[in-house]
Structure 1
Amino acid sequence: MKRLMIAVLCAMAGWVAGAAAQTAPAPAWPQRQVNVVVPFTAGGTTDLFARIFAQAMQQKFGVPFIVENRAGAGGTVGAGYAARQANDGYTLFVGTASTHAIAPYVYKTLPYDPDKDFQPVSLFATLPNLLVINPRIPARTLPELISYVQANSGRLNYGSSGIGASNHIPAEIFQNMTGAKMTHIPFRSSNEIMNALAGGHLDLAFDNMTLAWPQAQGGTVRAIAVTSKERSPTAPDLPAIAETLPGFDVATWHGLYAPAGTPRAIVDVISAEVKRIYSQAEVIAKLKEIGAVAAPNTPDVFAAFGASERARYRDIVKAAGIEPQ
């Protein structure tokens, strides 16, 4: 009888411990510094979205949220680094169409799996790219530019942030649809691309509107068209490339990820904060000025969006005839 009582008590103790573990609240987060990895250099569009998030989070939680720039290979270097970090909520990653939708189809090997190595948290924003040219090129409309590029096939160059970057794909599609050839010059950041354009070292680029539009307004580059299917509310007088080249539709996006296996309770907290931050009127207004649209969502909705974007860009890359590097 004594042994039976001991066994029963032990079983009850195990059950109580198990029940307590199931009902115990999630550990408080954050309790220390959080690193937000950006796969491009400081000052670019991805960096801007990351800093809006990091600054607001630091103000609310009172711990450092440090933006860590790790650029290279169209964002894949930073993505590979982030994928290898601990999945405890203290490393986050700002992914883009480049890192999570395009890269699998333009690189033969990647240092990460965009689906298996990351937990989607929330989308930040969407935006078109802007086709801008060096002002010395004698073209002010897209049909004029197409004629000029075709007449100078093989003589012009364009800049991007690297093979597979969201500002590389539209140039490849443009060449494929017009039959003109240009030389690709990769840079480390959009800032470098804009400087090269303004300095006369580059002919054209299909870069993020957040940086290209202010440059166009300042007159250092000439804006020709947007890469999205429809015109941008930020620059309604600029045509969409699709108005001249039907079917052209290459918008981009930026969103927040965590390493796979990060506790869902923490992921949900962060996702709710992204929604809070990117739903603020002042943030929405700031993004509109630079051509971006705030689009926070839930982890599950973001995961489904990412899957659909990978399928879409798989077809885009194939149609453009881009061979994996």
Structure 2
Amino acid sequence: MQRRTFNLAAGALGAASLLRTGFTAAQDTWPSKPIKVVLSQPAGSGPDNIARVLGDGLAQALGQPLVIDNKPGGQNVIGAQTAARSPGDGYTLYFATTAALVTNSYLFKTLPYDPLKDFVPVAFVANSPFAVLVRADSPITSLQDLVARSKQDPGKLSLANEGPRTFGGMIARVINARTKAQANLVAYSSVGVALQDIMGGHAQAVVADLASTAQLAKQGRLRVLAVTTAKRVPGWEQVPTVSETLPGLEMTGWMAMVAPAGTPQPVIARLNAEINKLLANPGVADKILGIGPIPAPGGSPKDFDTFLQDEHKRLGQFAAEIGLLPE
């Protein structure tokens, strides 16, 4: 009886050892085929360009190509749903934005994916500042000036944005609410259309992401009144932050790499390490800055998870402040 018990125990230990060996071997051979990176934005967009910069660097580091799979539409829902329903085997990643992982929680009563449960954090990649801008020859020279002029002639000063249920629209509404400004918030179908009206003198100011407007500002055609980051933006140090006028008002877009839930931890750790190396590479950082966003300083998956939880609380408070209700 004792000998049989010993033999059974030895057999069980041997099987467990084989399972562990097989699992370790599987991890050691990852990646053994191309890795798909799903995006919710179209080809040529800011997130797409940054994902391709990272993809090139990761392909060299991992020895396998990263294939960008653009799934635009549905306010990021299509891409997020596609990634969330993919197997957590290390061969599908999702290059996510604030909208997909946070803002959509306050815009939709129901989502076909769970922003917090269907993904695991990999790495924080970049911040995408928003800005308040006017035409370069505008008499408005500061955010305080814009607010004062809107109060002098209520409803006459147009503050363009992409709509009340977009990030830029939320920022415009929070500014209007906190300053008791009387700006007329005008929704446009895109930043490009809004900028056309700004340049044509049909609107006086716009809230838009800095990446989309930086070139016009550098050409001297737009004036940046304020940025929405906590600190002044590298390369734009002369531009004050919105929070210097309205303490606590910090709202930036951002981009991060996540993976479907269930992705093995060793895979997550390897990806995090390689992405952090890329972000610390001056050549890669300069490419990201050239696109517009600010490269992240690096950090662990846990760091990004903590940041994500904080973002949900903060943006939830902003949504409540402006009366934004899910539909």
With normalisation by structure 1, the TM-score equals 0.86
Aligned pairs for 1:97-112 within 5 A: 97-112=98-113
The 3 A distance-change label for structure 1 pair 40 and 202 is farther
Aligned counterpart, 2:280: 279
Output one character per residue of 1:119-170: Cα deviation in whole Å (capped at 9) or x when no partner: 111101224212223557542322332344453627735233x665433321
Is 1:37–1:92's contact at 8 Å kept on the other side of the alignment?
yes
Alpha-carbon shift at residue 291 of structure 1 (Å): 5.3
Structure 2: distance between partners of 1:124 and 1:184: 29
Deviations 1:68-115 (A, max 9, x none): 222224323321221111111111111222222222122222221111
Displacement of 1:55? 0.9
Matches within 5 A, 1:193-208: 204-208=205-209
1:120 aligns with 2:111: no
Aligned partner of 2:294: which letter?
Answer: A
Asked whether 1:264 is paired with 2:265, we answer yes
Counterpart-to-counterpart distance in 2, 1:233 and 1:154: 34
Q: Which amino acid aligns with 1:159?
A: N
What amino acid maps onto 1:183 in structure 2?
V
Partner of 1:317: 319
Tell me the residue number matched to 2:71. Answer: 70
Q: Distance in 2 between matches of 1:125 and 1:291?
A: 6
The answer to whether the 8 Å contact 1:130/1:206 transfers is yes
Question: Residue 18 of structure 1 corresponds to which residue in structure 2?
Answer: 16
Closer, same or farther: CA 231–205 of 1 in aligned 2, 3 Å: same
**1:35 aligned residue:** 36
Distance 1:206 1:75, change over 3 A: farther
- Of 280-289 and 76-85, more deviation after overlay is shown by 280-289
Q: For residue 313 of structure 1, what is the amino acid of its counterpart?
A: L
Q: Which runs of 5+ in 2 are unaligned?
A: none
| Alpha-carbon distance between aligned partners in 2 of 1:195 and 1:256, rounded to the nearest angstrom | 33
Find the counterpart in structure 1 of residue 187 from structure 2. Answer: 184
RMSD over aligned CA atoms reads 2.8
Quick check: 66-75 or 270-279, which moved more?
A: 66-75
Q: CA deviation at 1:246?
A: 3.5
Counterpart Cα distance in 1 of 2:146 and 2:100:
30
How many Å separate the matches in 2 of 1:38 and 1:306? 18
1:129-208 to 2 correspondences below 5 Å: 129-134=130-135, 138-150=139-151, 151=153, 153=155, 156=158, 158-160=160-162, 164-177=165-178, 178-187=181-190, 204-208=205-209
Q: Work out the CA distance in 1 between the residues paired with 2:202 and 2:275.
A: 39
Residue 36 of structure 2 corresponds to residue 53 of structure 1:
no
- In structure 1, what residue type is equivalent to 2:312? R
Q: Give distance in 2, aligned partners of 1:124 and 1:137.
A: 35
Q: Percent identity?
A: 27
Task: Could you tell me which runs of 5 or more consecutive residues in structure 1 were left unpaired when the two chains were aligned.
Answer: none
1:305 corresponds in structure 2 to 307
Quote the Cα distance in structure 1 between the aligned partners of 2:247 and 2:124: 28
- Give the distance between the partners of 1:248 and 1:310, measured in 2 at CA: 15
What letter matches 1:49 in structure 2? Answer: I
Change (3 A) 1:163 1:19: farther
TM-score by length of 2: 0.85
| Residues 139, 321 of structure 1: alpha-carbon distance in 2 compared, 3 angstrom cutoff | same
Output one character per residue of 1:216-258: Cα deviation in whole Å (capped at 9) or x when no partner: 1123433221112332232111121223334322123211100
